[in-house]
Amino acid sequence: MSVAHDERGTRVAAPAGLPRLLAGVRADGRPVTLEAHLRRYGPLPETRGRQSRSAFLGAVAASGLQGRGGAGFPTARKLEAVDAQRGTPVVVVNGVEGEPPSSKDKVLLAYLPHLVLDGAVLAASALGAREAIVAVGRTAHAAVADAIAERRRAHVAHGVTVRVVHAPERFVAGEETAVVSFLNGGPAKPTFTPPRPYERGVGGAPTLVQNPETLAHLALIARFGPSWFRAVGTRDEPGSVLVTLSGAVRRPGVLEVAIGTPLHELVAQAGGATAELSAFLIGGYFGSWLPAADALAAPLSNAGLAPLKGSLGARAIVALPAASCGLLETARITRYLAAESAGQCGPCVHGLAAISEDMVQIARRNDVAGARRVIERRLGQLEGRGACRHPDGTVRFVASALRVFAREVELHAVHGRCSGQAKQPVLPLPARRPDALR
Amino acid sequence: MSDVLRVNPIACDGHGLCAEIVPELIELDEWGYPIISGKPVPARLEKHAKRAVAACPALALQLVRTGPVT
């Protein structure tokens, strides 16, 4: 199953090695056309009809693909959960990538829209859904709309109507219940569960919400099979992943690597570090800080990062130079995360505001010992107390800063000094005024 | 089969009545929002837990039946 066939029956070889997803990216930065896409990967396999449907679902299960949105849930189980519900399902492509250090989904949707749309159509067709909705922020909206029109003209519909919806690109707006709420005409804010979207989502229908990268992998698994997919990655975390690497590296950007690749290889692919590094933030703003030496040697997989209390999360990685103060960086982002609370849950509203002020005190060397005492207690109380994981993710991020930058905390507390020399912050914040949640 | 208390944090306004009724299972954080022990409600507290659920002005507190514990 590692060859696909194009319209004329010509065999299209499975992509050998890496990159798989990013192989088609054009040098001129324009989206890949449908024609070029089909020439590279071959036509979209059929997934409607009992036999082709079960072949597809079987291939997804055998591939071991895990969702690439951050939670890492097995894709086959998500498909099965939607499939087990009554009623005609809906497929949602969650292209709302509101996490400032992450741009891999925007890159996929803007440069390789057909790979993502293929996956959406395959999944929709297999589940008997008639509609797939692509929720996307402003960056990739035009590319997706053009790609949908291109497919309509070429009649590659597979019985699925695809449409694009412009959604607010805010941090919490990408949470799957927030996307569903927005598509249902409500605010782009998380909702209390159950029901989860797979039970009752868009228009009350069972809804498969998938990350664009997950769907792009599906498009290739359907063509080239699970063994091809598993040829890279680890046994428990198979395949390749897109990583957004930024901070003190020569060529920041989106890279595709096999899961399990040591971080130092990724940094080398990005042209190496531009300064002496003290730490890496791995997994975006719900992720963890890791000391640079440990992180560089670690394999980029959840199993590889677990002993260091890290995880891949959204696979946004930032390299922090030694001349920057990790506490100041963390305080800035914590204040942003507190401001990004949807404002619905008391523990999130009050708790994140409080730990963000504690972090600012620690970073500014203002009664560090006092702030240290209260922040520990507060961090211990917030987990699991919001409707979504916003408080949990923030707690994880802040706790990792206090752990990894413990010596810097001492320096601030005892000596009133700070090792930060850098004038420019490293961790990115959104450049423009945020979209309204509705 | 056992029951656990669960709060809908979006609906909860932090009135705090629940913690007065079953302090054994619910404490309040510094802003008055409930911190609920995730443990099953013991039989001796079941009546109180039900009263706490009934007393919540925001209808935010629930007793949720969890699957058979094996």
| Test the B interface: residue of A172, A177, A192 with most B CBs within 10 Å | A192
Q: Any CB–CB contact under 8 A between A350 and chain B?
A: yes
CB contact under 8 A, B11 and A192: yes
Q: Does one domain contain both A108 and A216? A: yes
- pLDDT tens-digit series, residues A340-397: 999 999 999 999 999 999 999 999 999 999 999 999 999 999 999 999 999 999 999 9
pLDDT at position A13: 85
Cβ proximity of A194 and A77 under 8 Å = no
CA distances from B48 to B17, B27, B63, B67 (A): 12, 14, 11, 22
Q: Any CB–CB contact under 8 A between A168 and chain B?
A: no
Q: Does one domain contain both A176 and A254? A: no
CB contact under 8 A, B29 and A347: yes
CATH code for position A246: 3.10.20.600
* Lowest-confidence pick of A5-9, A219-223, A251-255, A274-278: A5-9
Q: Does one domain contain both A289 and A404? A: no
- pLDDT tens-digit series, residues A33-47: 999 999 999 999 988
- pLDDT tens-digit series, residues A53-107: 999 999 999 999 999 998 889 999 999 999 999 999 999 999 999 999 999 999 9
CB contact under 8 A, B33 and A346: yes
Q: Does one domain contain both A220 and A96? A: yes
Q: Any CB–CB contact under 8 A between A347 and chain B?
A: yes
Q: Which of A345, A354, A381 sits opposite B9 (nearest CB)?
A: A345
Distance, CA of A384 to CA of B6 (rounded, Å):
11
Q: Does one domain contain both A266 and A314? A: yes
Query: By three-state DSSP, how is residue A391 classified?
Result: helix
CB contact under 8 A, A385 and B10: no
Q: Does one domain contain both A138 and A271? A: no
| Test the B interface: residue of A172, A189, A350, A377 with most B CBs within 10 Å | A350
Q: Out of A181, A207, A230, pick the residue that ends a domain.
A: A230
* H-assigned helices in A112-194: 113-127, 138-154, 176-183
Distance, CA of A79 to CA of A54 (rounded, Å):
12
Please report residues of A whose CB lies closer than 8 A to that of B33. Answer: 346-347, 350, 385
A430 prior amide bond cis, ω within 30: no
pLDDT at position A46: 87
Q: Does one domain contain both A75 and A159? A: yes
Q: How far is B44 from chain A (nearest CA, A)?
A: 26
pLDDT band per the 50, 70, 90 thresholds, residue A2: low
Task: Return the half-sphere exposure (C-beta side, CA atoms, 13 A cut-off) of residue A379.
Answer: 22
Domain membership of residue A356 (yes or no) is yes
Please report residues of A whose CB lies closer than 8 A to that of B32. Answer: 346
Structural domain span for residue A84? 3-230
Distance, CA of B21 to CA of A432 (rounded, Å):
48
pLDDT at position B2: 81
Q: Does one domain contain both A216 and A255? A: no
Average pLDDT, chain A: 94
Domain membership of residue A437 (yes or no) is no
Domain membership of residue A423 (yes or no) is no
Q: Out of A265, A296, A321, pick the residue that ends a domain.
A: A321
Edge-to-edge strand list for the sheet holding A253-258:
A253-258, A240-247, A316-321, A277-282, A288-291
Q: In the predicted model, what is the mean pLDDT of residues A219-238?
A: 97
Q: Which of A192, A354, A384 sits opposite B10 (nearest CB)?
A: A192
Q: How far is A147 from chain B (nearest CA, A)?
A: 38
Distance, CA of A133 to CA of A270 (rounded, Å):
34
Total domains present in chain A: 3
pLDDT at position A421: 86
| Test the A interface: residue of B7, B33, B62 with most A CBs within 10 Å | B33
Domain membership of residue A143 (yes or no) is yes
- Assess: ipTM above 0.90: yes
Percent of chain A with pLDDT over 90: 88
Q: Does one domain contain both A252 and A332? A: no
pLDDT at position A7: 52
User: B-side interface with A, Cβ within 8 Å?
Assistant: 8-14, 29-33, 35, 38
Domains of chain B plus CATH, in order, are: 2-66 (3.30.70.20)
CATH code for position A9: 3.40.50.11540
pLDDT at position A5: 59
Q: Does one domain contain both A207 and A343? A: no
Domain membership of residue A433 (yes or no) is no
pLDDT band per the 50, 70, 90 thresholds, residue A155: confident
Please report residues of A whose CB lies closer than 8 A to that of B30. Answer: 350, 354
Domain membership of residue A420 (yes or no) is no
Examine the pLDDT at A9 and tell me if it is beyond 60. Answer: no
Q: How far is A347 from chain B (nearest CA, A)?
A: 7
Of all helices (H) and strands (E), which one includes residue B36?
strand B34-36
Q: Any CB–CB contact under 8 A between A191 and chain B?
A: yes
- The residues pairing with A249 across neighbouring beta strands, listed in sequence order, are A273
Distance, CA of A43 to CA of A348 (rounded, Å):
47
Q: Does one domain contain both A101 and A42? A: yes
With a CB-CB cutoff of 8 Å, which residues 364-383 of chain A face chain B?
381
Q: Any CB–CB contact under 8 A between A195 and chain B?
A: no
Q: Does one domain contain both A37 and A114? A: yes
